[in-house]
Amino acid sequence: MSRRALITGITGQDGSYLAEHLLDLGYEVWGLVRGQANPHVSRLRKHIGDVQITTGDLLDQGSLISAVERVQPDEVYNLGAISYVPMSWQQAELTAEVTGMGVLRMLEAIRVVSGISPSRTPGREQIRFYQASSSEMFGMVRETPQNEKTPFHPRSPYGVAKSYGHYITQNYRESYGMFAVSGILFNHESPRRGAEFVTRKVSLGAARIKLGLAKELRLGNLDARRDWGYAGDYARAMRMMLAQDSPEDYVIGTGQTQSVRELVEFAFRTAGLNWEDHVVLDAKYTRPAEVDLLCADPKRAREQLGWEPEVTFEGLVTMMVESDLRLLAESARPEDEPFSPDHW
């Protein structure tokens, strides 16, 4: 019999790639969405295929218990979050509730449905849980590159909320014997990335200028460096973590960094443009507390999971710019694309 997976955040970038990957492996895939009339579901099905949907909300404990009872999953992937870092300062309390406490609620739903308690530990066929942790937890980094033992010093409400989710996942693993793991994923991008994220903002900006739809692109800090990879590669790593004999947390990244300036330069060159003719620095895009450098040490994932990224930084940026050129040539409304930034 095929395995059954439940994915929160299925209408977002990561959820869509994970759903595709699991379907290719023969899984029965369910997505958790808020509300019956979510417009992104039909678009998701059009692009991804045979995905089943159940309703639930990371703010509502009862709805999560009902969803887990209905689906009876073998695996739960908690990708749902308010994941745009700058917004986390504007909606700090909601970010804490969804991105932090939402993890606890999903773990509790699994525990309750499975009948797990301090006196009743789970069996071999227990529900396996994956939590989407983030490199933003490292924040003001203590060492470079960052590995599974590097201390956290988050620099945003988002990073703080993700840190809580990471630690509560670890706590349920140690307290109840649950198969619960966290993937500490570094920045991962794709043509499905929301337009508010800097990588997609750059690829869309370059495409708009190339097609004569805009004249300039306004950005903030060009010196911040990130470890950027392809979201499809990182979806493979999520499933690999739940396929192991024992639960462990893993850092997932490329081990290489580029600056925002290098991202901009390569994206504009791909579009046949000189970035210095079009990019304008704007202080309003500067974060209240900046994270200057994030770089992964993916040694454990490479040695224990056998995971390696397949798409290079240059290949990723080329993919995104070419995709946005096609998208804008067909429609000047990228907001009509199927993958929602509001995916919790």
Q: Which residues are catalytic?
A: 163
Omega prior to 191 cis, within 30 of 0: no
Residue 68: phi, psi to the nearest 5?
Answer: -65, -40
From CA 231, how far away is CA 211, in angstroms rounded? Answer: 27
Q: Which residue has the tokens 């140690």?
A: 174
- Could you tell me the two tokens for 285? 């895009």
From CA 98, how far away is CA 65, in angstroms rounded? Answer: 16
- Could you tell me the two tokens for 203? 């690829």
- Could you tell me the two tokens for 61? 């404990």
Kind of pairing between the strands at 229-230 and 188-189: parallel
27 and 5 Cβ atoms separated by less than 8 Å: yes
Give the C-alpha distances (Å, rounded to integers) separating 227 from 31, 186, 302. Answer: 29, 6, 16
From CA 274, how far away is CA 222, in angstroms rounded? Answer: 16
3-state secondary structure of 168: helix
From CA 48, how far away is CA 328, in angstroms rounded? Answer: 21
